[in-house]
Chain A
């Protein structure tokens, strides 16, 4: 990734605002930051999802399950038409990435299509009203993983999609957060220069679905990273691994969980269980970072 400070972030905006997203919408900010770095020599592809931010770029849309295929079509058409100056960019939610779009995504990654894929990950299907996705974390409440005598929220941890994509041996995989704009934009600027399949998974808190006040979107996004619930890293060519944010000590996950309504029901034991999971994962990531290797 490229290293920058906030003063290096381009002043140009490529979003056309105000848009129709909710107040404090994380994905709306993610779109703004990503396209600041990308510019407008782009064909942007979308599938059904919440509105985030409209960008001053040509747009294509296709059915929910098909982003990987549509981006392939865009990219290959650009190639045969000799338009290498235009990028095929997907800005796709976690439903269209982790779940219904996974087959076409994996296929496009395996073919190493010349695509930049951004997952605006808000950890559930928000457009239809907060239903769980396979990006939803353990014990989170959603309208399809409810809390009651027979339910404690989502029963399983989320799938580790960035690692799965990295296992396709693609040129670039990274995670990012809207609370860390220099890290995010640094990764986008780097990915932009590469060819082939590039994937950046951006955690974008959703005040409506995660149940917190819209003013705390950045705070929640920041705590996700500071507690290790969402680690920031990059994987190059499916081989090199690097943490891009490495605090000396992680904050307790409780700080992150307590401020969100979707985790309000958690017992101390459940919080401890999540803490253990996060600690183990962080240990693993630190080892990978130390080796500098992605073991696949």
Chain B
């Protein structure tokens, strides 16, 4: 049995990716189980999904705690050592990360492979929905699901133009993925639980929810207070009538960027 754990953020399609793998390997005559870790996931919040693949029906109903493969479809989460928690000796960590495996900071008794799925997604889909791109890398690196089976599963789920563009993302990642190298980075998973946000309440920081960050040009700002009043998370406070952004509270929704009447707030892709 092969066990896979996905990490992503609500809206990037981690749950869909787990389903697509299950559907693809089922076409190849295998048995599979795709499990979304259910809570009350929100767009932008870290989420988890699991896949089990076997030659016989999968019966166990517990969650995956010692995965053979961990796939992280979000570049910010790809920097968190805790995503590698529990990974089996000799296992694989596949990251959406814009740098080669040698530059990954996470290390341990497993292999690491990277693909810049966000760039691929932005160029093919126009949106940072990275799941299908990461699947192309997964197919190439593991050989567990054939590219054709994944294409078929994608086109069935997303008919028409959207499906075609997702297949393009899949194929590009298949070509561009960096092959696995031993994970030599200095950071170890430690005791921390893998990232997962569910339920209701107040969070410490939502900095890792962002793909883009709003940056204020104080020169252009006319102190109209609109960005301040429209921020759902009170991430913007006024200091001398000028907006100051608390990046632990900013989810990167972009409302302030969109509403600024003088275009004084720019949306900048988060550095990885």
Question: Which residue numbers of A lie inside 8 Å of B, CB to CB?
Answer: 6-7, 9, 11, 13, 15-26, 28-29, 32-33, 50-51, 53-54, 127, 178, 181, 207-208, 213-219
User: Can you name 22 A-B pairs with beta carbons within 8 Å?
Assistant: A6-B224, A16-B202, A17-B233, A17-B235, A18-B248, A19-B202, A19-B203, A19-B233, A20-B200, A22-B42, A28-B233, A29-B231, A53-B233, A178-B230, A181-B230, A208-B42, A208-B43, A214-B43, A214-B255, A215-B253, A217-B253, A218-B258
Q: How far is the CB of A70 from chain B (nearest CB, A)?
A: 18
Q: How far is the CB of A148 from chain B (nearest CB, A)?
A: 12
Report the separation of the CA atoms of residues A21 and B233 in the bound assembly, to the nearest whole angstrom: 9
User: Majority SS of interface residues in chain A?
Assistant: mixed
**Neighbouring B residues of A17 by C-beta, 8 Å:** 202, 233-235, 249
User: Majority SS of interface residues in chain B?
Assistant: loop
Q: Is B101 an interface residue when CB atoms closer than 8 A count as contact?
A: no
Which among B11, B206, B224, B234 has the highest number of chain A CB atoms within 10 Å?
Answer: B234
**Chain A minimum-CB-distance residue to B225:** A6
Q: How far is the CB of A140 from chain B (nearest CB, A)?
A: 19
Q: How far is the CB of B42 from chain A (nearest CB, A)?
A: 4
Report the separation of the CA atoms of residues A11 and B238 in the bound assembly, to the nearest whole angstrom: 9
Find out whether the CB atom of B201 lies under 8 angstroms from the CB atom of A20.
Answer: yes
Report the separation of the CA atoms of residues A225 and B144 in the bound assembly, to the nearest whole angstrom: 52
**Chain B minimum-CB-distance residue to A222:** B259
Find out whether the CB atom of B249 lies under 8 angstroms from the CB atom of A18.
Answer: yes
Q: Is B272 an interface residue when CB atoms closer than 8 A count as contact?
A: no
Residue in A24, A216, A219 whose beta carbon sits within 8 Å of that of B232 in the complex: A24
**Neighbouring A residues of B199 by C-beta, 8 Å:** 20, 51
**Neighbouring A residues of B257 by C-beta, 8 Å:** 215
Q: How far is the CB of B6 from chain A (nearest CB, A)?
A: 19
Find out whether the CB atom of B254 lies under 8 angstroms from the CB atom of A53.
Answer: no
Q: Tell me whether A18 and B40 are in contact in the complex, defined as CB-CB below 8 angstroms, given that A215-B253, A217-B255, A218-B258 are known contacts.
A: no
Q: How far is the CB of A206 from chain B (nearest CB, A)?
A: 10
Find out whether the CB atom of B202 lies under 8 angstroms from the CB atom of A216.
Answer: no
Q: Is B197 an interface residue when CB atoms closer than 8 A count as contact?
A: yes
**Neighbouring A residues of B254 by C-beta, 8 Å:** 23-24, 213-215
As a 0/1 sequence over residues 200 to 212 of chain B, the CB contacts with chain A under 8 angstroms (1 = contact) are 1111011001000
Report the separation of the CA atoms of residues A23 and B214 in the bound assembly, to the nearest whole angstrom: 13
**Chain A minimum-CB-distance residue to B229:** A181
Q: Tell me whether A216 and B258 are in contact in the complex, defined as CB-CB below 8 angstroms, given that A20-B203, A51-B42 are known contacts.
A: yes
Find out whether the CB atom of B42 lies under 8 angstroms from the CB atom of A6.
Answer: no
Find out whether the CB atom of A23 lies under 8 angstroms from the CB atom of B44.
Answer: yes
Q: How far is the CB of B200 from chain A (nearest CB, A)?
A: 4
Q: Is B98 an interface residue when CB atoms closer than 8 A count as contact?
A: no
Report the separation of the CA atoms of residues A6 and B253 in the bound assembly, to the nearest whole angstrom: 22
Report the separation of the CA atoms of residues A53 and B202 in the bound assembly, to the nearest whole angstrom: 8
Q: A23-B209, A215-B257, A217-B232 are known; give 15 further A-B pairs, CB within 8 A.
A: A17-B233, A18-B206, A20-B42, A20-B197, A22-B44, A23-B11, A23-B251, A23-B253, A24-B251, A28-B233, A50-B40, A51-B201, A214-B44, A215-B267, A217-B255
Residue in A11, A18, A50 whose beta carbon sits within 8 Å of that of B251 in the complex: A18
**Neighbouring B residues of A24 by C-beta, 8 Å:** 232, 251, 253-255
**Neighbouring A residues of B197 by C-beta, 8 Å:** 20
**Neighbouring A residues of B252 by C-beta, 8 Å:** 23
**Neighbouring B residues of A219 by C-beta, 8 Å:** 258-259
**Neighbouring B residues of A9 by C-beta, 8 Å:** 225, 229
